Structure 1
Amino acid sequence: MLLGMRDSLGPLKVLAVASAVNGIGDVLLCSVWGYGIAGAAWATMLSQVVAAFMMMKTLNDTGFRAFQLSIPSPRELLEIVDLAAPVFLTMTSKVAFYSLLTYFATSMGTVTVAAHQVMINIFCMCTVWGEPLSQTAQSFMPELIHGVNRSLLKARMLLKSLVIIGAISGLTLGVIGTSFPWFFPSLFTSDRMVAGEMHKVVFPYFIALMVTPSTHSLEGTLMASRDLRFLSLSMTGCFCFGGFLLLLISNGGGSFAGCWWALAVFQWARFSLALQRLVSPRGILYRDDYQQHELVTGKAT
């Protein structure tokens, strides 16, 4: 909600405080008082509680009654489900594919498992850099698409800028993300066999990573335009196709590089479907005849 109000400083402060609470709690509970993994869990829980309270306090200061409890009506529950269910399906499909990728990679031996863990962790660290593009689209696009002073031309210009920034970011992240496992594998492992397996997937790793930031900007725009049904169905379709591709690779003898090529196909399929939807002349960014009540299906609860 704060991002929707274009307040990025508030969440940043909350994140900083929560991270500090978590770090100090880990040191005290794990190292000083010797609670081990249970102490780490308590520190994480405490940081989340502090973050939630600070978020509610920030919303309360802006005029929302964040601390007031109310029971939603059946109609409001239906509206929430109507919005949340497609997003849940989208996120579940994405996580399920990554889990399926790891499942097939772990069936190829200990060396492959070690190499995959290194590469997938670096990949996830790099993909985080594309999330601000999605959040920017979700913060600014609703006003341009649904607002009183809506301007589809400005929305298209913003999307173009986000995609270009995403492409530049993707190429930069791809170069950086592949350089470390290729030139400095000793930072992650001293085993030459593991390093060799990492080198086998550098190219599909680059292909998958380079398109990810632009994909985030496109999917953020789809969420901002409330085109959630298409987003969830397309992500589910990409998951099914990617899973089928992984199954074919596994039944054909399997290869570590083949699994990562499946990830590259999954990422590019997401990008292609979202791009085609948004640049279509019949899409929401080109249809001036859409009326406000056709765009916004329900009020905020």
Structure 2
Amino acid sequence: MTNSKPILVIGATGKVGSRVARRLADAQLPHRAVSRATSPAFDWQEPTSWAPAMEGMHTAFVSFVPDLAMPGAADIIERFAATAKTSGLRKLVLLSGRGEHGAELSEDRLRNSGLDFTVIRASWFNQNFDEGLLQPAILAGKLQIAAGDKREPFVDANDIADVAVAALLDDGHNGKTYEVTGPRLMTFADAVREISAASGLSITYAPLSVEDYHAVMVSEFGKDLADLVASICDELFDGRNERLGDGVQQVLGRAPRDFSDYVRSAVASGAWQQAA
């Protein structure tokens, strides 16, 4: 069953939300893309902003900021889902974190909300290297993170967006949980080597302890973000995610985009040109 009723895109300036909104716009599907800067605005920390943003909407893509691993996120998602139900929304497509206990708590609150839902559990985004948290380190030529030699199936944000749009439009995905990953397992050292080889830049990988990484993060991004990211690394990089998911194949009927393809595209677009 195809659903073309109005779609709310929450987190429309984020890596995935912006791509979801772009796909809906390109397809000329009715939607409302919201963030703290839009009118109406949507702010996770201001619950009074939620209902006005939801008015007239049927389905929503939900990206929580800063991360569902944040303490208290599950309670916020539960309150959000209740507001969504009262506001007339029928279905939520939740972007979740793979292997995160806090994210799973939020998923459970959504499952018990009485709304239709689809959960998309994503591994680390390729785009973290050129659009997000890891970009400054790549530009500086030295990536430090508390990941050791653990392998991660980095996933492309474009694949996540394609899966999300499919779930938003097709009720056949209701009640499903999809694990979306890239097609192969890589260490962060592997990723840095590929970026270096394709870009011609000299980049090294320096694994840190969680404590040392936290100290680096505090100096660069402040304590709140440092606490969150360090705790995520401490939880996730124990080997639990060293396996592939098949969510992209299940939903889209094709293989996920390879990291090498992402790197070539990023280099071609000038993503790391500043360092050159």
The verdict on a shared fold, with TM-score over 0.5 as the criterion, is no
Structure with the higher fraction of residues in helix conformation: 1
* Bigger Rg, which one: 1
Structure with the higher fraction of residues in strand conformation: 2
